[in-house]
Chains A and B, each alone.
Chain A
C-alpha cells in the first residue's frame, strides 16, 4: 500500500469504523432522536414540498429566466444616484439572489465596478434573506410574522450597514476597474405588464394554495380558507391561458394538459393536491416537448428544475440532521432542550449576541437555516435570538468571509462582520421585545 497516496481514504475508513463500532444505538435518547428525525422528514414531505416548495421553485425559475438582471444592475452602476442605489441594493436580492452562488460575484461587482462599498454591503447583507425561496419557506415554517420580520429587518438594516461602511471608509478611494461591465442587451419579448401579471398569478397560486386554516368559522379569512381551492383553481386557469397565448404554447396543448387535472379536481375534490400535482406534471411535460425545450418554456423548466435538484436534497438532509439533534417542536433530540434554553432562551442581550455570532460563523447550506431554527425554537430558543440568527446566518459564514476578504481587504471585512453581528443582535432584541 502506498501510504502517501492512500492516507486520506484510510483515515476516513478508520474514523468511520470507530463511529460505527461505538454507535450508541441502544441509548434511548439516540433511538428517540432517530425517530424524531424520521417524523420531521415525513412532516416536511407531507406538508411543505408539494404545495409550497414546488410552486416556489417554479417562481424562482421564472425569476431567473424572465427578469432581466441587466435592467436591475443599471441602477447599481458607477454613475447611479446614491439614494436609488442604496434602495435598489437593499431590495434587489429578491430578484438577483435567487441562487446563493450569484451573491458574491454580484457583491464584488457592485463594489469594484458599480455603486461602491455601501450599496455592495447592503446587497450582501439583505440578499440571502429576501430571495423568494427564503421568504416563502421562513413564513411557511416559522410563521408569517417571522417571515415578514426577516425581510423587513434585512432590508432596513442592510441600508444602515451600507451607510455605516461608506461613512467609516469614505476617505479610502478605491481603484475602480477601468473596464465597464459588459451589459448584454436583452431582447424584450413581452411588455412589462404581461410579465408582472404572470408573476402575480403564480404568487397568488402559491399564497392561496397554502392559505392556513382559521380558528373562527366566519369572517373574511375563513371565507378565503374555505374557498381557497376555488381561488387556486381559477388562478391556475388564468395561468394556463397566459401560457397558451403570451408564451405561445397554443390552446390545444394547454387543454390536453389541463384535462387530467380538471378531471381529478371534479372526481376527487376532497384531495385537491392530486389535481395540483397533475397540473404541475402537465406543465413540466409541456415545457419539455421537442419544440418547446429550446424556447423560454424549456428554459423556465430547466431553471426551476435546477433549483429543485440543488435545494431539495440539501433541505431534506438539513431537516433530518435538525431532527436528530433537536427533535420536533415539543420533543427532544440528542441535544437537551435545557441547554438550548440556557444559551439562547428568552430575549437577553447575551442570547441575541450569541445567536448572531454563532450565525455569522456557521455555514448554512441554502435554506437549511429554516429547519435548524425550527428545531431550536421548539427546544426553547427565544424569538428574538431566532431572528438574529436568521439575519446573521445566511449573510455570512467562515468560507464566504474569506472570499469577501479577498475582495475588499481585512480591515473592511472585519468591520463589516462586526456590523452584521451588532445589527442582527439589535434586530433580535427589538423583535423579541414585541413578539
Chain B
C-alpha cells in the first residue's frame, strides 16, 4: 500500500509522517511512504486543510495530526 502525507512541508506534516510510519511499522504493513508537497497535487485529493493523510489515494484524515494509535485504527479500518 502507499501511504501519502499531504502537506507543503511544515512541522506538522513531518510529525504526521513520523506517526504514520510508526503506526504502519507497528501493524507490520508492507508500505511505501510518499510525501505530496505540491499544492496542486494536494488539491487534486480534495484536501484544503493540511496536513492530510491518504492511503492509495483515499483521504483518511485532514487538518490535524492524529496520534499513532488513531492512525493504526484508520489504517486497519
Contacts and interface: CB of A to CB of B under 8 A. Distances in A.
Q: Do A and B come from one complex?
A: yes
Interface in B53-77: 59, 61-63, 67, 69
A184 B53 CA distance: 12
Contact of B8 (A73, A104, A112, A309): A104
Contacts of A263: none
Nearest to B6: A105
Contacts of B48: 73, 105-106, 108-110, 113-114, 181
A13 interface: no
A12 B3 CA distance: 38
B39 A184 contact: no
Contact of B63 (A69, A179, A406): A69
B32 interface: no
Interface residues of B, number: 23
Nearest to B50: A105
Q: Among A109, A113, A403, which residue has the most Cβ atoms of chain B within 10 A?
A: A109
Interface string A82-114: 000000000000000001011011101110111
A35 B2 CA distance: 54
Size bin of chain A's contact surface: 20 to 34
Contact of B39 (A113, A179, A310, A407): A407
B29 interface: no
A177 B46 contact: yes
B1 interface: no
B59 to A, nearest CB: 5
Contact of A105 (B42, B59, B61, B67): B42
**Interface pairs A-B: 4 shortest CB-CB:** A109-B48, A101-B10, A179-B46, A105-B50
Interface of A: 69-70, 73, 99, 101-102, 104-106, 108-110, 112-114, 177, 179-182, 184, 294, 306, 309-310, 403, 406-407
8 contacts: A101-B7, A101-B10, A105-B42, A106-B49, A108-B42, A181-B48, A182-B59, A310-B11
